[in-house]
Amino acid sequence: MKSVSETPVRVRFAPSPTGYPHLGNIRTALFNWLFARHHGGKFILRIEDTDRARKVEGTEEAILDSLRWLGLDWDEGPYFQSQRLAIYRDITRGLLEKGHVYLCYCPPQRLETMRREQAERREPPKYDRQCRHLTEQERAQLESTGANPVVRFRTPVEGETTFNDLIHGAVTFKHDTLDDFILLKSDGYPTYHLANVVDDHLMAVSHVLRADEWLSSVPRHVLLYGALNWTPPQFAHLPIILGPDRARLSKRHGATAITEYQKQGYLPSAMVNFLALLGWSLDDRTELLSIDDLIKHFSLQRVGKTAAIFNRDKLDWMNGVYLRQLTLDEFVQQAIPFLDRDLPESVERPLDRGFVGSVLSLVQERARTLGEVPELTRFFFEGELQYDPRLLLAGKLEAPEAAEAVAAGMARLLQIQMWDAETLEGTLRPLATELGISTGKLFGLLRVALTGRTAAPPLFQTMMVLGKEKCMQRLERAAQLLSAFSGLEA
């Protein structure tokens, strides 16, 4: 399982705090983490906070929370690029001395105009290199105006750059399709290209696993590595994850922040399993894999090239599978915060753990997310039920007939000593025969009376958990509702 390569495996997850991490971001983190763990290497966390304007408050914490939630622990970091400005500046100075970069004084307005004109002429938008050939005099002149220059890379005009991507194979870009990109902004902060290359090198990153959208900036990075006389890491560009509309994942897709899934009651284990299968597969049949399985089997060779659409239905199914695999104790543990949060306010807190356990044992195999649990179990906790009385006749019984059945049931139930599922069934099943209605109809009627709905856990177990008192109250209430019906019809 261990890699035999000379250099130790060191990978990083390098998000920017400009938005809340979504499925795609986290899938990238997961693949990096799995790769590191599989090879016994290091997983480094680096926050790329070099854009002061776009920084969004709270996103750094969200990134850490998301990783922690899924158990993607990091071995180093988080490093913050905003704290490493001196490093980028020093390196830029060295590049300047060697003539690999130059100072550019073009004001943003000029660049904008230039790009607009290029668009009109249907030319690719590229910096026209005006400052690349400045004479000493011109430079001094511009310098004296007090303008803060940016630093641009002197991209070779001719030739091409080819690199080998671990997933895509050889990829070639001609240099004349590139322009002189900016390394250092006028505010002294580095751009992604500079900071990324410098840090990956300084942090001895061996493999860069990141989303496909970066593929086209690799030639710039390779050129930079060359200018710095550094050996580039290995690159692997992962397929991106698309929304249901085939567009890139974005805010428009609703629950995009990964923490939303946590709030909706998905388990980290299910999330990890699901995410791992978005772009990676073990074979032609395995769907369910534990974290250990994933670490054991993960390999870049089995990462696909095609963008994947995130399929919520399958996530729901998988989460249900993981929910059912929990012991009852674990399920209770996981579900309680959701009950606390979403059960009606009228339900008294704190919830009785023993009672919650009995309730949850009846819905564990019925829930696909923990978020559904409160709604699934609400009637166990509530006092008087609110429901449409017509549901009582959903079994196609006439109102008088139904009223009679409920009354007979109550009379019978009053007499029994034990209140367990077996006794209840033994009491009520014969009653159906005596009343001359099918068990289905009788049980359906009682189900509505006791739960307020037509779909609920098995009747006798439900009654047992509900307890005799509550059951009798609800039957009484149903009887009243039914008599009101009969009155109407009369």
Partner RNA sequence: GCCCCCAUCGUCUAGAGGCCUAGGACAUCAGCCUUUCAAGCUGAAGAUCAGGGGUUCGAAUCCCCUUGGGGGCACCA
When the beta carbons of 82 and 473 are compared against RNA, the nearer one is 82
Least distance CB 16 / RNA (angstroms): 3
Per CB under 7 A, does 51 bind RNA? yes
3-state secondary structure at position 237: strand
The amino acid present at 233, given as its one-letter code, is P
HSE, CB side, 13 Å, CA atoms: give it for residue 347: 19
Residues whose CB falls within 8 Å of the CB of residue 24, separated by 6 or more in sequence, listed in order? 211, 240, 241, 249
The DSSP code for 191 is: P
Could you say which of 73, 123, 330, 375 contacts RNA (CB under 7 A)? Answer: 123
Per CB under 7 A, does 159 bind RNA? no
Could you say which of 85, 171, 326, 408 contacts RNA (CB under 7 A)? Answer: 171
Least distance CB 188 / RNA (angstroms): 9
Q: How distant, in Å, are the alpha carbons of 239, 241, 338 from that of 306?
A: 6, 9, 37
- Report CA torsion sign: 435, 437, 440, 442: negative
Could you say which of 14, 343, 391, 464 contacts RNA (CB under 7 A)? Answer: 14
Least distance CB 182 / RNA (angstroms): 4
Name the one range near RNA by CB under 7 A: 133-141, 169-177, 198-206, 352-360. 169-177
Task: At 35, list the tokens.
Answer: 């790769």
Name the one range near RNA by CB under 7 A: 10-18, 62-70, 88-96, 406-414. 10-18
Least distance CB 256 / RNA (angstroms): 14
The DSSP code for 173 is: E
Per CB under 7 A, does 444 bind RNA? yes
The CA distance from 362 to 103, in Å, is 70
The strand pair at 150-153 and 42-47 is best described as unpaired
Could you say which of 120, 284, 345, 434 contacts RNA (CB under 7 A)? Answer: 284
Least distance CB 348 / RNA (angstroms): 26
- Report CA torsion sign: 252, 258, 264, 267: positive
When the beta carbons of 90 and 287 are compared against RNA, the nearer one is 287
Per CB under 7 A, does 69 bind RNA? no
Torsion of CA 65, 70, 72, 73, to 10 degrees: 60
Catalytic positions are 251
> How many residues comprise the chain?
490
Could you say which of 24, 233, 265, 279 contacts RNA (CB under 7 A)? Answer: 279
Could you say which of 24, 457, 465, 485 contacts RNA (CB under 7 A)? Answer: 457
Which residues 235-274 are close enough to bind RNA by CB under 7 A?
A: 239-240, 242, 246-248
